Structure 1
Amino acid sequence: MAHAFALDQRLAADSTPVIELPLCSVRLSADRTYPWLILVPRRAECVELIDLDPGDRALLIEEIVMASRVLKELTDAEKLNVAALGNSVPQLHVHVIARFSDDPAWPGPIWGKGPALPWDSLEHADFTARLERALADG
């Protein structure tokens, strides 16, 4: 019996929904230190890229490119970090992170670099709305 897709509770707790693309749920990290999107393919029991069928893998790449372009345009990021690590959360998900030479972790990775800074509710709502509009427009 096939299992239904369910978002890992850690991803749900650490991010908020932005938009549903054809394959992925796009979420915004709860840490405003780094503008950071998380794309989660809505496929049950996917842990690795190799768990997706070839069509879904191709679609995932296109959705990563779109999310990357949107995040770069909205933030004027100097660099984008794109990664599918999944060591703490095994559910397949891809991080798209806007980086700046003056961010607290530059030039290293962002993982474990201090406590997450929560979003101001108005700033969060505005940024989420701008992300949603830009991603909906493709």
Structure 2
Amino acid sequence: MSFTIDAKLVTDTIRLGSFPLCDLLLMNDSRFPWVILVPKIPDLQDFHEIPTEFRDVLFQEIEATSNAIQKLWSVDKMNVAALGNQVSQLHIHVIGRRRTDDAWPSPVWGHGTPHPYTTADRPNVVQSLAEELKLRD
């Protein structure tokens, strides 16, 4: 079976590029620095299903994403989560949080109305993240 990204993730995000294991997506909500990693392994739903040989790579990619968000946005706290209640395909949220953000200290999910990146800001954010993460197309 071939790998495809769930339609809801595609609709809600902007593609950044690829790591060796994961495709990276930027959540199209400028209120939060929020990247989603989607392992390019078909039919994964939960962490415990990740093949052993890919677990270290996944952790390294989560770490690199967290470091990039911290460097580019100087956040107060990193949130890393894989919920899967709305999208069953395994995807990992890496979200930079500030004590002054719209949702603090609550979770970002379902809080307020998303603010999509403007056409002026979007290319700069995508390019900065892609360069910091050294992503492939």
Short-chain TM bin: over 0.9
Choose which of 9, 21, 24 in structure 2 pairs with 1:23. 21
DSSP-derived class of the 1:6 partner: coil
Name the structure 2 match of 1:131.
129
DSSP-derived class of the 1:82 partner: strand
Q: CA deviation at 1:99?
A: 0.5
Q: CA deviation at 1:81?
A: 0.6
Matches of 1:56 and 1:87 in 2, distance apart? 23
Query: Which ranges of structure 2 fall in alignment gaps of 5 or more residues?
Result: none
- How many residue pairs get aligned? The number is 135
Moved over 2 A (4+): none
Name the structure 2 match of 1:45.
43
Q: CA deviation at 1:108?
A: 1.0
Matches of 1:117 and 1:127 in 2, distance apart? 14
* 1:1-138 alignment runs, 5 A limit: 3-136=1-134
TM, length-normalised to structure 1:
0.95
TM, length-normalised to structure 2:
0.96
Report Cα offsets for 1:43-90 as digits up to 9, x if no partner: 100001111111112111110000000011000011111101111100
DSSP-derived class of the 2:94 partner: strand
Query: Which ranges of structure 1 fall in alignment gaps of 5 or more residues?
Result: none
The alignment-based identity, stated in percent, is 36
What is the Cα-based RMSD across aligned positions, in Å?
1.0
Q: CA deviation at 1:101?
A: 0.6
Matches of 1:52 and 1:35 in 2, distance apart? 26
Matches of 2:120 and 2:16 in 1, distance apart? 15
